[in-house]
Chain A
Amino acid sequence: MSARELGSGCCEGGTLESTGLMETDAFPPAERFESGEPLESREPSEPPQSDEDGVDLTLLRWMLSLTPAGRLEVLQQHVDAVEAIRGAS
């Protein structure tokens, strides 16, 4: 990544390098947000994230994608984390 000048009107007289900002995908040029495209767009065909009872389907499907050993590891890590927090307080 190389330092690039921002242009007039922004951090006048400064460069990306001097402002501490580097142009990356995380910090796109301002013109990318001027297209009028909504910040959030959702295709109508995308599956819902929760069901009618509020069950988080994304979490459920993630757990189902793991092996039984993987699921046990998730549980163990969760319990370990809680026990660590309890021990620290």
Chain B
Amino acid sequence: MDFRRILSALVEAQVDFVVIGGVGAVLQGVPTTTFDLDIVPSRSLENRRKLFEVLEALEACYRQHLPRKLLPTVEDLSSDGHMLLMTRAGPLDVLGRVAGGLEYTDLVPRSRWMELGEGLRIRVLDLAAIIEIKERTGREKDLAQLPLLRRALRER
């Protein structure tokens, strides 16, 4: 897994996206771990085309069909669903909507720019919003993380 490689590829291609999930939490100081990168991209046609080129360059394919390599299409990227991909740099989840209907345009006002050095600047969903999403999904694994996330929010 190479988080920086995937993020750099997206930024260099000028893809509009918001980082959520475990990486978003870690970047805001939560001492947790994750093995994939979750992003919610803009689903404008132009952005889907840019994202598609990045995914092609990273040799992205759907994880659930491995070892068969089923490649995502530009049309796939307009879906509300969750595209669980494997790339040359590790697992990447491209999410159309999260927490019962939130898409990129809903998340942008609740995100912040973060500088990661080496010219890498990305949008990350604010920790309070990450917490709300986990509360909404109600999955056991998300609820289990809430004490840690809430404490991190208080400590900042």
Contacts and interface: CB of A to CB of B under 8 A. Distances in A.
Contacts of A76: 1-4
Interface stretch (B55-63, B67-75, B76-84, B114-122): B114-122
A75 B115 contact: no
Contacts of A3: none
B31 A68 contact: no
Nearest to A78: B33
Contact of B3 (A63, A75, A83): A75
Contacts, number: 69
Given A60-B155, A64-B156, A75 B30 contact: no
Interface of B: 1-4, 23, 26-31, 33-35, 114-117, 147-148, 151-152, 155-156
Nearest to B29: A64
B155 A69 contact: no
A31 interface: no
Interface residues of A, number: 26
Given A69-B116, A69-B117, A75-B3, A51 B33 contact: no
B152 A71 contact: no
Contact of B33 (A54, A55, A56, A79): A79
